[in-house]
């Protein structure tokens, strides 16, 4: 398979760094497409219509335009005042900033990203939003730079599928969660076996498709990492030309036992 971990990470940093620079520069009004193929008018079936008008209205335009997610984990994580939240692969910061408002001044929202340009954009978006209970960290989701049992909720938005070592990502998520903590992410899932030609295409990995786990695989990996109360809920099925009905956005929820 061409998607070795180092090659994949380098390609991801190149693509998403370019997105951050474009959104933060002269073409800031131009959005981005997660699956690599925007439709008419620049719309993307993966990233479109995920946030309410009210949510978008509280954020800098650059945070909205840099969003490459496939869901709205802040709306499904049932965040509470005073909680500590960690967003894996936080990009331009949209879900971190929304989470920070939900947990309030006594809570905290961390964003973790490995791409310098995205971190620069996210910190600028934090400044523009005037949100103080936020910290953006540089690092990889396979090696989270936080101590054990320090966060109440893990969120992520269409990022775990990009990792070549998802078992390690889930082990790290379990490690940093407090007992009773919640895993509440949005991700792409495969509906049935994915053809080898798709799995071998690095552009489709970067486009959030080729690295998607099957629903049963996701459950099994969460169990292996120690999670319980697992629910995988596909909600938007995509009709990609090369793989109609093969992939869907899903809300994935689990808990760390107390």
Question: Which residue ranges make up each domain of the chain?
Answer: 5-255
CA-nearest of 158, 169, 249 to 207 is 158
Residues of the chain predicted below pLDDT 70: 1-3, 26-44
User: How high is the pLDDT of residue 22?
Assistant: 93
Q: Is 0.85 topped by the overall pTM?
A: yes
User: How high is the pLDDT of residue 31?
Assistant: 46
- Could you read off the pLDDT of 224-254 as tens digits, one per residue? 999 999 999 999 999 877 788 999 999 999 9
User: How high is the pLDDT of residue 97?
Assistant: 98
* Cβ atoms < 10 Å from Cβ of 196: 9
User: How high is the pLDDT of residue 242?
Assistant: 73
User: How high is the pLDDT of residue 164?
Assistant: 93
Q: Identify the CATH number of the domain defined by range 5-255.
A: 3.40.50.150
User: How high is the pLDDT of residue 34?
Assistant: 58
Distance CA 173, CA 152 (A): 11
Strand partners, 111: 87, 136
User: How high is the pLDDT of residue 43?
Assistant: 54
The Cβ-side half-sphere exposure at 224, using a 13 Å CA radius, reads 12
* Cβ atoms < 10 Å from Cβ of 38: 18
Distance CA 232, CA 247 (A): 13
């Amino acid at each position: 398979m061409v998607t070795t971990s180092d090659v994949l990470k380098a390609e991801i940093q190149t693509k998403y760094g370019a997105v951050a620079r474009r959104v933060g520069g002269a073409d800031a009004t131009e959005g981005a497409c997660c699956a690599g193929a925007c439709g008419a008018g620049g719309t993307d079936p993966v990233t479109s219509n995920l946030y309410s008008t009210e949510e978008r209205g509280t954020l800098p335009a650059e945070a909205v335009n840099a969003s490459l997610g496939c869901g709205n984990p802040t709306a499904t994580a049932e965040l509470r005042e005073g909680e500590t939240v960690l967003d894996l692969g936080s990009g331009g910061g949209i879900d971190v900033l929304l989470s920070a408002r939900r947990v309030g001044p006594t809570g905290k929202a961390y964003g973790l990203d490995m791409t310098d340009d995205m971190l620069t954009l996210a910190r600028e978006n934090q400044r523009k939003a005037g949100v103080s209970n936020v910290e953006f960290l540089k690092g990889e989701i396979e090696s989270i730079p936080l101590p054990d049992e320090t966060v109440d909720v893990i969120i992520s938005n269409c990022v775990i599928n990009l990792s070549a070592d998802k078992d390690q990502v889930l082990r790290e998520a379990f490690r940093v969660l407090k007992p009773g903590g919640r895993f509440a992410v949005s991700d792409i899932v495969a509906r049935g076996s994915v053809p080898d030609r798709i799995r071998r295409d690095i552009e489709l990995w970067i486009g959030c498709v080729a690295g998607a786990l099957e629903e049963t695989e996701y459950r099994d990996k969460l169990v292996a990492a120690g999670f319980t109360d697992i629910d995988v809920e596909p909600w938007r099925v995509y009709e990609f030309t090369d793989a109609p009905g093969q992939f869907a956005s899903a809300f994935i929820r689990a808990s760390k036992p107390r």
